[in-house]
Structure 1
Amino acid sequence: MDPLRFAIVAVPLAAYLILLGLVNLRRRPTLATGGGDLGALGVALGGLAFVGPIALFRPDAATVELGNYVWLFLAAFYLLWVTLTAMLCRPRLVVYNLSAEELRPVLSEAVRSLDSAGRWAGDNLTLPTIGVHGYVEPFAWMRNTSFIAGGGRQDLAGWRRLNRVVERALRGVVTRPNPRGWLLLGAGVAILAAAVVGLVGDATRVTTAWGQVFAF
């Protein structure tokens, strides 16, 4: 792969890894929605899609008609696809740098303030009054935990209320930095450095690749 295409793939992925590393090195947990988490991953993989399927299936007629502007439409199409996927995914709350055991009291506090009929059954939590039912799923290797919708009948407004309450409850939680965040941070910095070195160190191949990708 030439340095330009490698940089297109590597830079958004490196930024994603660096962001994840910094989030996991914080002394406070960070909350994200499932849609936001999936959207960030989609953006991180956008460079790979750009040099892969988007470039491969680029319409020739649109390329001739629009020139380089075709990339704007293809990028918009990809972002719309990522947005649609994020909107259609099951409701989910993702808490970075917090174990399942640490998240359960936070969810229990949210239950008390949102739904007096809420109850636990193992790792499953049901809040019938606001139409939320889900289960706790840990990702122990990274000390991240998700609360994922279980079943098809979910109230999105109830999930939004739960998100706000859990976010407020997490403000008072202090945790230790996740040492594996350094691995993510280091990997992101290394990938970014490799992309920059490739762009700076081989200007001829970069110029050639630029003409192949963007000149018609």
Structure 2
Amino acid sequence: MQLDPLHVIIALGPLAAYFVLLGLLNLSRRPLVTTGARDVAALGLAVIGLVFIGPAGLFLPDAAIVELGWIAWVMMGAFYGLLLTLGVLLLRPRLVIYNVTADQLRPALASVVAELDRDARWAGESLVLPNLGVQLHVEPVSATRNAELISSGPNQNYSGWRALEVALTQALRRTTNSPNPYAIFPLSFGLLMALLVGFLTFSNPGMVAQSLIEMFRL
């Protein structure tokens, strides 16, 4: 059974872009603060190609493709987007900090907390900011030089988390690091997949174009 180049391109294209972006983020000399929602949304977009050639391709009726053509795939993409959005909205608040060590994060976080909420209380790696309605625990990942601030408990104030994100971003703005060695792994994976996608695209463009026409009934 011959592997369809178009399926490989669709599956690996977004994933390659995600891994390259992840590698570049970790190569940066400055920390990057983002939300868990954005992090999960980026991952959801990265696997959209796998979803399209996997579950979506299996469960999308052939009759719908014949009748609607490319519109059927657009509807499937919209449905996946709605599911991804719902999943992101249901997530508990979380902050992800790329390219920062635990020794750099703790003093920056302590100074931010002191400014935002004077009634804040620490208990080991756990933190409560009662005036902001934020409860969290710090989870550094030393192997990748990243860290996460993960919400503790269901009662969270999203405005408080937003204020914490903005303040922490400003506090870490002057922090610099050497490039993260971990970046070589996602960057290498991403570039290898991008090379494969490029090779399959340009080595036989006629077959790819024909597969595209058949898939979308153009």
The TM-score with structure 1 as length reference comes to: 0.94
Task: State how far apart, in whole Å, the 1-side matches of 2:215 and 2:65 are.
Answer: 11
The answer on whether the counterparts of 1:42 and 1:82 sit within 8 Å (CA) in structure 2 is: yes
Task: State how far apart, in whole Å, the 2-side matches of 1:3 and 1:140 are.
Answer: 39
Task: State how far apart, in whole Å, the 1-side matches of 2:4 and 2:67 are.
Answer: 27
Task: State how far apart, in whole Å, the 2-side matches of 1:81 and 1:99 are.
Answer: 34
Task: State how far apart, in whole Å, the 2-side matches of 1:27 and 1:207 are.
Answer: 41
Residue 156 of structure 2: aligned partner: 154
SS of 1:135's equivalent in the other structure is strand
One-letter amino acid matched to 1:123: E
Aligned residues: 216
Task: State how far apart, in whole Å, the 1-side matches of 2:64 and 2:12 are.
Answer: 27
SS of 2:143's equivalent in the other structure is helix
Task: State how far apart, in whole Å, the 1-side matches of 2:207 and 2:65 are.
Answer: 23
One-letter amino acid matched to 1:46: I
The answer on whether the counterparts of 1:15 and 1:44 sit within 8 Å (CA) in structure 2 is: yes
SS of 1:98's equivalent in the other structure is coil
Q: Which runs of 5 or more residues in structure 2 are unaligned?
A: none
Q: Is 1:111 aligned to 2:120, yes or no?
A: no
Task: State how far apart, in whole Å, the 2-side matches of 1:15 and 1:2 are.
Answer: 21
The CA deviation at 1:44 is 0.3
Q: Is 1:193 aligned to 2:176, yes or no?
A: no
The TM-score with structure 2 as length reference comes to: 0.93
Residue 177 of structure 2: aligned partner: 175
Q: Is 1:43 aligned to 2:48, yes or no?
A: no
One-letter amino acid matched to 1:4: L
Partner deviation per Cα, 1:33-58 (whole Å, 9 max, x = no partner): 00000000000001000101111111
Q: Is 1:209 aligned to 2:211, yes or no?
A: yes
Residue 131 of structure 2: aligned partner: 129
Partner deviation per Cα, 1:151-199 (whole Å, 9 max, x = no partner): 1111111111111111111112112210121222122111100111012
Of stretches 97-106 and 30-39 in structure 1, the one that deviates more from structure 2 is 97-106
Partner deviation per Cα, 1:89-143 (whole Å, 9 max, x = no partner): 1100000011223211121111111100112111111101111001111222211
The answer on whether the counterparts of 1:54 and 1:74 sit within 8 Å (CA) in structure 2 is: yes
